[in-house]
Amino acid sequence: MNPVYIRATGIHTEQYQDLNALNAAFLAPPKQIDLSDVDIYQAANLKLNQLERHAIAREDRSILNDLATSILNASGDMLSHANKLAGLDNAEATPLYAGTDGVAEYSFSALSKLIDRFGDANTAMKNLGILSGMTNPINMMRFLSTNPLYHASKRMGLRGGGYPIRGMSLSGLYAIEDAMSDIAANRAQQGVVVAAASMRNFDSLVIFGKLGLLDPQSEAGTVNPSYGSAVLLLDNLTEGDNALAQVLRVSSRYNAAPFPSEQDWTSLLQDVAVNGITPDVIVTYCNGVKSNDANELAAIESVFPNTPQHNYKSLFGYTSKANNALDLVTALSDPAIPTGATVLINGAGFGVGIGYIVIKKLRHNSLPMNPSTLEAQ
């Protein structure tokens, strides 16, 4: 099996527009996310950054949705941080692996327009049929589940558009798992992973609201719904020492429980140990659901006691399908995690399963890729 490396990364989130902003946040104690003044039911209405506006053709900009916009900003960020992307422009050599949302966020924006038109929610609900007449025909393109993949693929010149992996909050981990499997087996020499989502969509907010997880006073816990994207370039190229990290193992397993038990987490972590891996740092999944957080932490204490733990949802909020990829990228930027450290990243998907990613951090994300820097390090 070939070794698999992470060569370059990029992000775009509600709090950090790119890697430079994230790296700058670590120069001082990073601020914890505060959504108290944020209307989580309002559409994000994201815009392309200046570089991406110049890179994306006008006809493609006309069919962007928020998710695709975030992905393009993250893609541009990844490209700007890589000075050697061997073969990235070779479409036939670079598949796309994408754990992404659909376009449910438009439910809120459409309903808002209807309520504005009729003045109150009750009257709007009696006139839902009018929505079809208020919809721009071009939205047909924005509503496609493959819309974000089309834009990402075209922006980076990749082979086709891939397919959207739907595994709830494990989707990004699944995408990394698929990419590693293909690259390690030499079915592909490299691949691009895209993980992007928004917890501000209609379905997520309704479900988590009914579970009482959007109430700061809830005894069950509180989830801070947010959005974000991460883009990673993985390859098996051995020339040069400019890799950010080596991916040592990615594993997932089916679990139908909405919130995994302590035994579920313990069994998962024992799989890490059985494969001869002892992490130096663990990035926890803990997303604010008290019972789930307690189960995960108890399992960690049982299998890997006294191992330092980090949790980055205090920086980003809960980004669903993007969370594991954002955790990975942030571990590479976090100066508290030294180079050479083995990092275990936990993940879970509501009613889908649990999993983990193990990487060896080779250098900090904030350092440029050149030999002199690496020698000094």
Between 1 and 139, residue with greater pLDDT: 1
* Number of helices and strands in the chain (H, E): 16, 9
- In whole angstroms, give the CA distance from residue 285 to residue 173: 12
Per residue in 298-315, pLDDT tens? 999 999 999 999 999 989
**Domain CATH for 178:** 3.40.47.10
Strands of the sheet containing 4-13, edge to edge, are 96-100, 190-198, 227-235, 4-13, 245-254, 353-361, 342-349, 281-283, 309-310
How long is the chain? 377
Please tell me the predicted confidence (pLDDT) of residue 303: 98
pLDDT-based confidence at residue 97 (cuts at 50, 70, 90):
very high
Is the same domain home to 363 and 252? yes
pTM for the whole thing? Answer: 0.89
Number of domains in the chain: 2
pLDDT band at residue 373 under the 50/70/90 scheme: very low
Judgement on whether residues 261 and 143 belong to the same structural domain of the protein: no
Are residues 252 and 321 both part of a single domain?
A: yes
Top pLDDT among 105 and 121 is at 121
**Which among 235, 259, 283 is the end of a domain?**
235
pLDDT value for 375: 30
Identify the pLDDT of residue 221. Answer: 82
DSSP notation for 91-126: GGG--EEEEE--STTHHHHHHHHHHHHHSSHHHHHT
Given this model, what pLDDT does residue 370 score? Answer: 40
pLDDT tens, 321-356? 999 999 999 999 999 999 999 999 999 999 999 999
Do 204 and 344 fall into the same domain?
no
Q: How far is CA 20 from CA 12, 31, 366, in A?
A: 11, 15, 8
Q: In the predicted model, is pLDDT for residue 139 greater than 80?
A: no
Question: 84 and 192 in one domain?
Answer: yes
Task: Return the pLDDT at 103.
Answer: 62
pLDDT per residue over 39-78, tens digit each? 887 778 899 998 898 999 999 999 898 899 999 999 999 9
Q: By residue range, what is the domain housing residue 266?
A: 245-376
Are 230 and 297 contained in the same domain? no
Residue 281 pLDDT greater than 70, yes or no: yes
Give the tens place of pLDDT for each residue, 197-227: 998 887 788 888 888 888 878 888 888 999 9
| 169 and 49, same domain (yes or no) | yes
User: Is 282:273 a contact under the CB 8 Å cutoff?
Assistant: no
User: Rounded mean pLDDT of 275-297?
Assistant: 95
pLDDT for the residue 334? 95
